[in-house]
């Protein structure tokens, strides 16, 4: 079971780049890494997903080293509205069954 | 935007009552999930379904039950609510379990007195 480990919290000033790293030492060959954002009293929202190397979209970048035992979510130039909890998810499974593992999440606080 | 709905959004109910939390999605997704989340804590998967007539328990033991009679509908039932069931319940769906994203509903915040 590929558990994930993230920092519990991070603080950043507005306009800075924020990097949140997730460890997943037991990730399986066919697993993907997905990051979600959650605001209070709302369901999580998909941010980005990757398998290896680097993925970039309009809101974030995801860096995955060759061994895939960790991944780093990069948020460029954060604003106050980026204050939220960020979850790292590894989708794993065998034939006919899938277990989903959310990390404990990283609470990002953006400071004016 | 994802089309996944949960009702009610908030529910306050007395101990011993039977409750059903509704979840519906209009995206035709085969896979659906129920998560439980206490304030400030991580999400725990309590049930999931591969498709119609398929239900499985997640990694967190739950006294709730689910059913999947139609693709778009995945209700969760508590036969006898207790204060320990007080939590937020989040429903999600995905087209396939691997690589595709999960779309979450707004959640139901349940309080059992």
**Pairing relationship of beta strands A18-23 and B19-25 according to DSSP bridges:** unpaired
Backbone phi and psi for residue A81, each to the nearest 5 degrees, phi listed first: -70, -10
How many whole angstroms separate alpha carbon A103 and alpha carbon A86?
9
Mean per-residue pLDDT over chain B, rounded: 91
A65-91 residue pLDDT tens: 999 999 999 999 999 999 999 999 887
What residue of A is the nearest CA neighbor of B102? A46
Subunit contact B97:A41, Cβ cutoff 8 A: no
Distance, in Å, from the CA atom of B31 to the CA atom of A91, rounded to the nearest integer, reads: 13
pLDDT in tens, A17-73: 999 999 988 888 888 888 999 998 889 999 998 988 999 999 999 999 999 999 999
Instruction: Kindly determine whether residue A99 and residue B59, on different chains, have CB atoms separated by under 8 Å.
Output: yes
What is each CA distance from A73 to A1, A37, A64, B38, in whole angstroms?
Answer: 22, 11, 9, 25
User: Does residue B72 register a pLDDT over 80?
Assistant: yes
Is A8 a residue whose pLDDT tops 80? Answer: yes
Specify the range with the lowest mean pLDDT, choosing from A64-68, B18-22, B57-61: B57-61
Q: What is the pLDDT of residue A29?
A: 85
A-chain CB neighbours of B97 within 8 Å are: 91, 93, 98, 100
Residue A92 pLDDT:
64
Q: What is the pLDDT of residue B46?
A: 92
Q: For residue B11, what pLDDT is reported? A: 97
Q: Among partner residues A31, A46, A97, which is closest to B101 by beta-carbon distance?
A: A46
**B1 in A contact zone (CB under 8 Å):** no
Is pLDDT above 80 for A1? Answer: no
């Amino acid at each position: 079971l590929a558990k994930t480990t993230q920092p519990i919290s991070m603080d950043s000033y507005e306009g800075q780049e924020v990097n949140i790293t997730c460890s997943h030492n037991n990730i399986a060959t066919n697993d993907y890494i997905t990051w979600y954002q959650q605001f209070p009293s709302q369901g999580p929202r998909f941010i980005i997903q990757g398998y290896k190397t680097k993925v970039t979209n309009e809101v974030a970048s995801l860096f995955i080293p060759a061994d895939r035992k960790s991944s780093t979510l990069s948020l460029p130039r954060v604003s106050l509205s980026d204050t939220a909890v960020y979850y790292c998810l590894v989708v794993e499974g065998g034939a006919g069954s899938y277990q989903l593992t959310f990390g404990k999440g990283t609470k990002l606080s953006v400071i004016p | 935007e994802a089309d996944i709905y949960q009702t009610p959004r908030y529910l306050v109910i007395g101990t011993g009552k039977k409750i059903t939390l509704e979840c519906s999605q209009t995206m035709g997704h085969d896979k659906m999930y129920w998560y439980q989340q206490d304030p400030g804590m991580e999400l725990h998967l309590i049930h999931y379904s591969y498709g119609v007539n398929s239900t499985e328990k997640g990694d967190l033991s739950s006294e709730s039950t689910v059913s999947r009679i139609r693709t778009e509908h995945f209700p969760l039932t508590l036969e006898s609510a207790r204060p320990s069931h007080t939590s937020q319940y989040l429903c999600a769906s995905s087209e396939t379990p691997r690589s595709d994203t999960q779309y979450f509903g707004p959640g139901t915040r349940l309080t059992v007195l």
